[in-house]
Amino acid sequence: MSISHTLLGLLESGPRHGYDLKRAFDDRFGQDRPLHYGQVYSTMARLLKHGLVEVDGLEAGGGPERKRYAITDAGVTDVESWLAQPEKPEPYLQTTLYTKVVLALLTGRSAEGLLDTQRAEHLRLMRELTRRKAGGDLADQLICDHALFHLEADLRWLELTAARLDQLATEIRT
């Protein structure tokens, strides 16, 4: 996820302080990985340097002055360009899991056991996500669905690999 583009997009609804941006980000996108305040302020400093945001006002408080940031026309254009670009699909052509299966076979360890353990972990996470989805709002449901679909594809791969272990063992040992 592009933190800078996400913060810019949040600013399109109106000027905000760094604290408000962090809270809005965490509410919408940071359930599993909230932003740190330092990350917000370093990102805003970079966006300010590049002319994508401007300081819309300063407010005195009990501590340092609070800056209110507003998106510039260049920032809006940058968000538009980012949103128009498709994300590169990640084909996972060389995964750690595949590497572990091959190494288990090469070293005489149980690749079946490894696949069984991984299957159990995938199913555990799927149960957890299904519970989260049932109690979540639409945004949480969509995020959980995305993760669940990926886990289902992984489970299909685990089953296919388990069915082909003998053939794979023969191929990698020759």
What is the per-residue pLDDT across 39-77, written as a single tens digit (0 to 9) for each? 999 999 999 999 999 999 888 776 777 899 999 999 999
Is pLDDT of 29 > 80?
A: yes
Which long-range contacts link 98-103 to residues 24+ away (Cβ below 8 Å)? 101/161, 101/165, 101/168, 102/168, 102/172
Mean pLDDT of the chain, nearest integer: 91
In the chain, where do the E strands start and end?
Answer: 16-17, 53-59, 66-71
Is pLDDT of 113 > 80?
A: yes
Over residues 110-127, mean pLDDT: 95
pLDDT value at residue 94: 64
pLDDT value at residue 95: 80
pLDDT value at residue 32: 79
